[in-house]
Chain A
Amino acid sequence: MAKLAYLKRIGATPAIFLVLALIPLTGIPSYQFYILERGLQNVLVVLSLVILLGYTGQLSLGQAGLVAVGAYTYGILCVNYGISPWLGLLAAPFAAGLVGLILGFPSFKLKGPFLVVNTIAFSEIVRILILNNENFTGGPFGLNRIPTIFNGLPLYYFMLVVAFLAAVGTLRLSRSYIGLAFKAIRDDEIAAESMGVHVRNYKLLAFVISSVLAGLSGVFFANMAGYLNPDSFTFNESSTYLLMVVLGGMSNAAGGILSSFAVTSLPEALRFMARRRMVVYSIILLVMLRYTKVLEIENFKRLIRRMRPVPAPASAPAVDRDEVNS
Chain B
Amino acid sequence: MSLLTATQLTKRFGGVVAVNEVDLSVGSGQICGLIGPNGSGKTTLVNVITGIYKPTTGTVAFEGRPIHNRPPHEICALGVGRTFQNIRLLLTLSVFDNIRLGAHIHIRSTLWDVLLQTRKLRQEEKEVADRIDTVLDFTGLRQYRNELARNLPYGRQKVVEIARALMARPKLLLLDEPAAGLNSNEKGNLITLLRKIRESGVSILLIEHEMALVEALSDHVFVLNYGKKISQGPFSEIQRDSTVIEAYLGRGGSHA
Contact = CB atoms under 8 A, between A and B. Distances in A.
A31 B109 CA distance: 45
Interface-central residue, A177, A196, A319, by most chain B CB under 10 Å: A196
Given A177-B104, A191-B101, A198-B71, 18 more contacts: A177-B107, A177-B109, A178-B114, A180-B97, A183-B93, A183-B97, A184-B90, A190-B72, A190-B88, A193-B76, A194-B52, A194-B72, A195-B101, A195-B102, A196-B76, A198-B73, A318-B146, A320-B92
Contact of B147 (A178, A184, A318): A318
A190 B52 contact: yes
Given A177-B107, A320-B93, A194 B76 contact: yes
A188 B104 contact: no
Contact of B94 (A194, A197, A318): A318
Nearest to B128: A177
Interface stretch (A92-100, A132-140, A168-176): A168-176
Nearest to B167: A195
A191 B52 contact: no
Contacts of B168: 195-196
Interface in B84-102: 84, 88-94, 97, 100-102
Main secondary structure of the interface of A (DSSP, over half): helix
A311 interface: no
Interface of A: 169, 172-173, 176-178, 180-181, 183-184, 187-188, 190-199, 205, 317-320
B162 interface: no
B123 interface: no
B44 to A, nearest CB: 14
Given A180-B100, A190-B52, A318 B148 contact: yes
22 contacts: A172-B115, A173-B114, A173-B115, A177-B100, A177-B103, A177-B104, A178-B111, A183-B93, A184-B90, A187-B90, A188-B88, A188-B90, A190-B84, A191-B84, A193-B72, A193-B76, A194-B76, A195-B73, A197-B73, A318-B151, A320-B93, A320-B148
Given A187-B90, A191-B90, A318-B148, A196 B105 contact: yes
Interface of B: 50, 52, 71-73, 76-77, 82, 84, 88-94, 97, 100-105, 107, 109, 111, 114-115, 117, 121, 125, 128, 146-148, 151, 164-165, 168
Nearest to A208: B111
B191 to A, nearest CB: 24
A192 B88 CA distance: 9
Contacts of B73: 193-199
A318 B149 CA distance: 10
A188 B89 CA distance: 8
A325 to B, nearest CB: 14
A320 to B, nearest CB: 5
Which 6 A-B pairs give the minimum distances between C-beta atoms?
A196-B105, A191-B88, A196-B76, A187-B90, A176-B114, A193-B72
A198 B92 CA distance: 21
Contacts of A199: 73
Contacts of A178: 111, 114
A194 B50 contact: yes
A177 B97 CA distance: 9
Q: Which of A173, A176, A184, A194: most chain B CB closer than 10 A?
A: A194
Contacts of A180: 93, 97, 100-101, 104
